């Protein structure tokens, strides 16, 4: 299979005067070509009645703050911070037009005068910074998590326990009115426009696709019947808000579900939406129930932009690209290639509210990059918790976690340059303290250095790069190759010592016979390249690291740290080669043809030949990977399945010999797994021996953070937040 190059050409341009797409030889972005490192990204877009100051849009994210009126002050601060950061336009989390459309019971609404007053706090805060704000109207349809759910047909979704009621014609007409009323109120609240959510498998997408729409009335049948609800909603909204108001429509460019639409049907819908009054078409990729990942970190950057380009070439309104775009080079390239007119990023603005200003000032190396882990944003949404960000704990806590400049600068020692220590050093220095960071190894990053060599986790490089550049710009004194002991800290003159000495892999040498044999190694020895494995491998421990190591061992292009090369490791701009878009699509069964005729863009995935035979083993009974994160765990489980990893649970480890690993299996029988090598991923232990003992009277104040504080259930989210919180308080 090969990627067919998109139809878009660099000459396709938006005319500055009339916002109509035209194709001529004049350069699209001539005005600012010399002024910025990303000239296309920073060319304004004239919509006729209003202008977007650049091509960057913050996409809709449900933060959890929009559901309660008493959180609207925090929501306003969250949006204001990003408006200040230079983004041209932002889209709120989904607001339902009515009760049936709630995602969760009592979700955010725009139904009344009181709602208008609450939302005004947001729009006023944003408009102080020359940015635009759009309210997304989202009707969840059968994705709603409550008993009032409705849909095109009475077919339950695999991701909600509630079976929907089939909407009657009267119900449909009322829903169209509800969309229009919500839009009108949004205009009164000061919004610059609305986005009508028509993708990701929500109500309008449910009507658009045969996957759910089995109706035989005027709202079903062929694509023209199935698109009728979406088109009528747009017409009603346009009639309610007038001509000088932005209407975005988020259209599913590829459904990635059985019986999903073909590209011809997507284009027919796009043209009808344009005629109905849409100002800008936004990209949606895949339904939430699709079994193809669309935003997790292992999805290559800009993996879907050729589908957006196919639609852009068919319409005369601006089209916005989305999904796994997180750095300016990628965004600029999409614009250069004429694949889209605007770039939408959502999570990258949780990670760094100043993304746009940094890009404009040529400081992309200082962007705190979204690593697409979902751990603190989408996973929180599914746990009904407020969203925040693993790499930026201030996100959605702008009024609560504040890094105030200090009035009394102190001498601060941070011991340990893992993510906890780097985060603490960063915040302490940002506040004006005099910071020294000690690291035993020759590079910063700690355990994150192992994470970043896992195939599909290449983005983790960016976090280390970000911290290295920030610490340098804040003149933190970084002492590499320095193992700190207690004597060095005594009488060293530090006012504060932050102990961030992290964790070491748990060794089984004292508890499992044969664990000292040379073919047995920790994950750190494997991933650093200190030890090599043979063709068959047993992985002891099926937590997050056991899964990652199994993926590393079965993937053909995986490389350990020592093969990446010291030069590149110390170069903060270095990024490893991630999997290509074409190879990723072949693996997951996504068409490589932007004009796809297969339903939902699905094709048969290629068979995979794993690099090794791997057994992934745990003592607990039941399915492996139950503790993995909600929104990414299924991707890891699917990966090891497609790479032939043999999953073994409910075992007791007996011993290791030169023949392999002896276990008592779940049936109580002794069994030999004939393997060449054994990798131990059995959790970690804290390293905290620098903390004063009871009775000591140190001159400095000591703080314990990250893995050093607690190894159990440690992840980078806790480590980075710990560091930031401690440093914010000294």
Task: State the residues that interact with ligand SF4 by CB under 6 A.
Answer: 347, 350-351, 370-377, 389-391
Nearer to ligand FAD, 283 or 686 (CB): 686
Single out the residue of 138, 540, 590, 708 in contact with ligand NAP (rule: CB under 6 A): 540
Residue 542 binds what, of ligand FAD, ligand SF4, ligand NAP, none (CB under 5 to 8 Å, by partner type)?
ligand NAP
Nearer to ligand SF4, 716 or 726 (CB): 716
Residue 629 binds what, of ligand SF4, ligand FAD, ligand NAP, none (CB under 5 to 8 Å, by partner type)?
ligand NAP
**Alpha carbon distance 79, 74 (integer Å):** 9
User: Cβ 443 to ligand FAD, closest distance in Å?
Assistant: 8
User: Cβ 629 to ligand NAP, closest distance in Å?
Assistant: 5
Residue 347 binds what, of ligand SF4, ligand NAP, ligand FAD, none (CB under 5 to 8 Å, by partner type)?
ligand SF4
User: Cβ 505 to ligand NAP, closest distance in Å?
Assistant: 7
Partners of residue 583 on adjacent β-strands = none
321: left (phi over 0), alpha (psi -120 to 50) or beta: beta
**Alpha carbon distance 676, 76 (integer Å):** 58
71 forms part of the interface with ligand FAD (CB under 6 A): no
**Alpha carbon distance 378, 721 (integer Å):** 17
**Alpha carbon distance 437, 664 (integer Å):** 47
User: Cβ 536 to ligand FAD, closest distance in Å?
Assistant: 21
Question: What angle, 0 to 180 degrees and rounded to 10, lies between the N-to-C axes of helices 716-728 and 419-430?
Answer: 30
Nearer to ligand SF4, 96 or 297 (CB): 297
Nearer to ligand FAD, 102 or 523 (CB): 523
The residue range among 10-18, 192-200, 231-239, 538-546 that interacts with ligand NAP, by the rule CB under 6 A, is 538-546
- 8 Å CB contact between 59 and 344: yes
The residue range among 75-83, 279-287, 537-545, 593-601 that interacts with ligand NAP, by the rule CB under 6 A, is 537-545
User: Cβ 681 to ligand NAP, closest distance in Å?
Assistant: 5
**Alpha carbon distance 519, 582 (integer Å):** 36
**Alpha carbon distance 695, 473 (integer Å):** 39
Nearer to ligand NAP, 126 or 545 (CB): 545
User: Cβ 418 to ligand FAD, closest distance in Å?
Assistant: 2
Nearer to ligand SF4, 388 or 550 (CB): 388
DSSP 12-81: EEE-TTT--EEE-SS-TTGGGTTTSSSTTTTS-EE-SSSEESSSEEEPP---SSTTSGGGHHHHHHHHHH
Nearer to ligand SF4, 246 or 372 (CB): 372
By CB atoms closer than 10 A (0-12, 13-18, 19+), residue 260 is buried
User: Cβ 370 to ligand SF4, closest distance in Å?
Assistant: 3
Residue 194 has a CB neighbour count (10 Å cut-off) of: 30
The residue range among 25-33, 555-563, 590-598, 679-687 that interacts with ligand NAP, by the rule CB under 6 A, is 679-687
How many alpha carbons lie under 13 Å from residue 258 in its C-beta half-sphere? 3
**Alpha carbon distance 362, 588 (integer Å):** 36
User: Cβ 504 to ligand FAD, closest distance in Å?
Assistant: 7
Site for ligand NAP in 490-519 (CB under 6 A): 508
Residue 441 binds what, of ligand FAD, ligand NAP, ligand SF4, none (CB under 5 to 8 Å, by partner type)?
ligand FAD
Contacts of 613 (CB under 8 A, 6+ apart): 535, 536, 537, 644, 646
**Alpha carbon distance 132, 288 (integer Å):** 28
Single out the residue of 545, 590, 704, 728 in contact with ligand NAP (rule: CB under 6 A): 545
710 forms part of the interface with ligand FAD (CB under 6 A): no
**202 belongs to the catalytic site:** yes
Single out the residue of 361, 483, 620, 699 in contact with ligand NAP (rule: CB under 6 A): 620
Residue 546 binds what, of ligand NAP, ligand SF4, ligand FAD, none (CB under 5 to 8 Å, by partner type)?
ligand NAP
Contacts of 89 (CB under 8 A, 6+ apart): 52, 57, 58, 131, 132, 133, 134, 192, 246
The residue range among 52-60, 209-217, 304-312, 435-443 that interacts with ligand FAD, by the rule CB under 6 A, is 435-443
Site for ligand FAD in 581-640 (CB under 6 A): none
The CA-based angle 280-281-282, given to 5 degrees, is 115
- 8 Å CB contact between 515 and 507: yes
With CB under 6 A as the rule, give the number of residues binding ligand NAP.
Answer: 22
Spell out the alpha helix ranges (H) of 490-594.
Answer: 523-528, 544-554, 561-564, 566-569, 581-588
**Alpha carbon distance 667, 663 (integer Å):** 11
Nearer to ligand SF4, 142 or 457 (CB): 457
Catalytic residue among 38, 78, 191, 202: 202
- Mapped onto helix, strand or coil, the DSSP state of residue 246 is strand
Residue 371 binds what, of ligand FAD, ligand NAP, ligand SF4, none (CB under 5 to 8 Å, by partner type)?
ligand SF4
**Do you know the residue count of the chain?**
730
The residue range among 105-113, 168-176, 201-209, 449-457 that interacts with ligand FAD, by the rule CB under 6 A, is 449-457
Catalytic residues: 202
Q: Can you give the binding site for ligand FAD, defined by CB under 6 A?
A: 373, 375, 415-421, 438-441, 446-448, 450-451, 454, 483-484, 500-503, 523, 544-545, 548, 687, 706-707, 714-717, 719
Contact residues toward ligand NAP (CB under 6 A) are 375, 508, 540-546, 548, 618-620, 627, 629, 681-684, 713-715
């Amino acid at each position: 299979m090969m990627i067919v190059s998109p139809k878009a050409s660099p000459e396709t341009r938006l005319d500055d005067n009339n916002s109509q797409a035209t194709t001529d030889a004049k350069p699209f972005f001539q005005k600012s070509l010399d002024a910025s490192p990303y000239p296309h990204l920073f060319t304004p877009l004239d919509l006729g009645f209003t202008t977007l100051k650049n091509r960057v849009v913050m996409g809709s994210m449900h933060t959890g703050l929009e559901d309660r009126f008493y959180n609207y002050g925090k929501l306003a601060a969250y949006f204001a911070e990003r408006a200040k950061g230079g983004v041209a336009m932002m889209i709120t989390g989904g607001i339902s037009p009515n009760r049936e459309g709630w995602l969760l019971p009592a979700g955010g609404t725009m139904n009344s005068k009181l709602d208008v007053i609450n939302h005004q706090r947001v729009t006023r805060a944003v408009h102080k910074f020359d940015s635009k704000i759009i309210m997304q109207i989202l009707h969840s349809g059968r994705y709603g998590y409550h008993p009032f759910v409705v849909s095109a047909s009475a077919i339950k979704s695999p991701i909600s326990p509630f079976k929907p009621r089939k909407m009657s014609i009267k119900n449909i007409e009322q829903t169209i009115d509800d969309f229009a009323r919500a839009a009108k109120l949004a205009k009164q609240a000061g919004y610059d426009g609305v986005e009508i959510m028509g993708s990701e498998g929500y109500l309008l997408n449910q009507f658009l696709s045969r996957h759910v729409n089995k109706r035989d009335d005027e709202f079903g049948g062929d694509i023209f019947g199935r698109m009728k609800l979406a088109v009528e909603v747009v017409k009603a909204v346009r009639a309610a808000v007038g001509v000088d108001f932005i209407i975005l429509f988020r259209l599913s460019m590829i459904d990635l579900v059985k019986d999903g639409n073909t590209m011809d049907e997507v284009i027919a819908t796009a043209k009808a939406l344009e005629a109905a009054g849409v100002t800008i078409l936004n990209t949606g990729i895949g339904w939430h129930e699709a079994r193809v990942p669309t935003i997790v970190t292992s999805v290559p950057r800009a993996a879907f932009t050729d589908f957006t380009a196919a639609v852009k070439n068919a319409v005369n309104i601006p089209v916005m690209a989305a999904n796994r775009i997180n750095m300016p080079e990628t965004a600029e390239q999409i614009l250069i290639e004429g694949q889209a007119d605007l770039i939408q990023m959502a999570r990258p603005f949780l990670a760094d509210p100043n993304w746009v200003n940094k890009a404009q000032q040529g400081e992309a190396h200082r962007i705190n990059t979204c690593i697409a882990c979902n751990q603190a944003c989408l996973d929180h949404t599914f746990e009904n918790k407020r969203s925040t960000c693993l790499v930026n704990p201030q996100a959605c806590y702008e009024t609560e976690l504040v890094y105030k400049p200090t009035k009394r600068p102190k001498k601060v020692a941070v011991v340990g340059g893992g993510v906890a220590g780097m985060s603490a050093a960063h915040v302490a220095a940002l506040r004006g303290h005099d910071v020294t960071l000690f690291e035993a190894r020759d590079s910063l990053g700690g355990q994150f250095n192992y994470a970043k060599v896992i195939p599909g986790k290449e983005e983790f490089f960016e976090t280390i790069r970000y911290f290295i550049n920030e610490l340098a710009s804040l003149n933190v004194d970084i002492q590499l190759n320095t193992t700190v002991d207690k004597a060095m800290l005594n009488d060293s003159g530090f006012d504060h010592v932050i102990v961030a000495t992290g964790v070491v892999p748990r060794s089984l040498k004292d508890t499992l016979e044969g664990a000292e044999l040379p073919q047995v190694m920790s994950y750190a020895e494997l991933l650093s390249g200190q030890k090599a494995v043979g063709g068959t491998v047993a992985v002891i421990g099926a937590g997050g690291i056991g899964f990652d190591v199994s993926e590393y061992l079965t993937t053909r292009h995986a490389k350990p740290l020592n093969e990446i090369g010291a030069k590149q490791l110390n170069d903060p701009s270095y990024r490893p080669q991630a999997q290509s878009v074409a190879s990723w699509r072949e693996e997951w069964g996504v068409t490589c043809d932007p004009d796809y005729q297969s339903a939902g863009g699905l094709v048969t995935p290629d068979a995979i030949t794993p690099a090794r035979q791997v057994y992934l083993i745990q003592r607990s009974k039941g399915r492996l990977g139950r503790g993995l994160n909600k929104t990414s765990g299924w991707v890891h489980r699917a990966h090891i399945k497609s790479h032939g990893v043999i999953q073994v649970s409910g075992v007791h480890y007996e011993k290791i010999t030169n023949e392999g690993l002896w276990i008592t299996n779940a049936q109580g029988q002794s069994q030999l797994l004939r393997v060449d090598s054994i990798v131990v991923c059995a959790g970690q232990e804290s390293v905290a021996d620098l903390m004063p003992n009871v009775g000591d009277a140190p001159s400095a104040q000591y703080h314990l953070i990250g893995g050093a504080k607690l190894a159990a259930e440690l992840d980078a989210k806790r480590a980075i937040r710990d560091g930031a919180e401690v440093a914010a308080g000294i």
